[in-house]
Amino acid sequence: MVDHLQKSTFNFLKQLKQNNDRVWFLKHKEEYLSAMEDFTALVESIILKVSQFDASVLELDPKKCLFRIYRDTRFSKDKKPYKTNFGAHIAMGGKMSDNAGYYLHVQPEESFIGGGMYHPTPQRLQGVREKISAKGQQFKKIINQKSFKDTFELWGDQLKTCPKGFNKEDPMVEYLRYKDLVLLHSIPDSLLQENAFDVYCAKIFKKMVPFNNFLNTVKK
């Protein structure tokens, strides 16, 4: 089992950022495969740790949690072919699941542990907004816990005004404007390379369980 990332994995990502083109990538394909294998093994270890408090991820294949390194450049002005990070979304159904889950982002100097929901379907977002409006005190109790506030930043794209169908005087309007409800916990690259990082990561993920459960009990 792997409990942390190798320094070589970070070195590959650093070099890729400086040489983001297909010719360089093909010449260093073996380094990419080795780095991806390292990251996959870490995600597998984290899944096992998370399954101790969230049984829904117990049978999850780590490879189905990993995002591709290849960028879709069809509608982007930035034509660089590769992402310069590794990412994994751990949730029932894998990376394409609409469920709130656990996310690990590895990128030199920009690594973080995340959770919640990112770009949910309109139906899911509508349901979440309705629940936040109806169960505002329950939602605030979760996000105002000292341990929660000390650990996470609540992030997400937001509407400038109250969403259609909701009362602009709703006491929860500041949260109804969110289009994403993401939890962020920044980490130094050095931490990812320390022994038992998988334990640390699972500890952070466990703190977001009430938040994720609140979002996941919403009907689509």
Report if residue 1 sits inside a domain: no
Q: Number of folded domains in the chain?
A: 1
Report if residue 43 sits inside a domain: yes
**In whole angstroms, how far apart are CA 220 and each of 5, 48, 57, 101, 114?**
36, 28, 20, 16, 22
Host domain of residue 179: 7-216
- Pair 88, 103: CB distance under 8 Å: yes
- Pair 211, 143: CB distance under 8 Å: yes
DSSP code at position 6: -
Report if residue 92 sits inside a domain: yes
- 101-150 tens-digit pLDDT: 999 999 999 999 999 999 999 999 999 999 999 999 999 999 999 999 99
Q: How far apart are CA 166 and CA 34, in angstroms?
A: 50
- Pair 20, 84: CB distance under 8 Å: yes
Report if residue 88 sits inside a domain: yes
DSSP for 34-65, written as a single string: HHHHHHHHHHHHHHHHHTTT-GGGTT--GGGG
Residue 70 is part of a domain; what is its CATH number?
A: 3.30.930
Report if residue 84 sits inside a domain: yes
Report if residue 2 sits inside a domain: no
Q: How far apart are CA 147 and CA 183, in angstroms?
A: 13
Predicted local confidence at residue 74, as pLDDT? 86
The pTM of the whole model exceeds 0.75 = yes
Q: Which residues, 6 or more positions from 212, have their beta carbon under 8 angstroms from its beta carbon?
A: 99, 100, 101, 102, 115, 116
Give the mean model confidence (pLDDT) for residues 198-217: 97
DSSP code at position 143: H
Report if residue 191 sits inside a domain: yes
Give the mean model confidence (pLDDT) for residues 51-56: 96
**What are the φ/ψ torsions at residue 102 (nearest 5 degrees)?**
-125, 135
Report if residue 99 sits inside a domain: yes
Is residue 1 scored above 80 in pLDDT?
no
In the chain, which residue ranges form alpha helices assigned H by DSSP?
7-18, 22-27, 29-50, 122-134, 136-143, 146-151, 173-176, 189-192, 197-207, 209-216
Is residue 41 scored above 80 in pLDDT?
yes
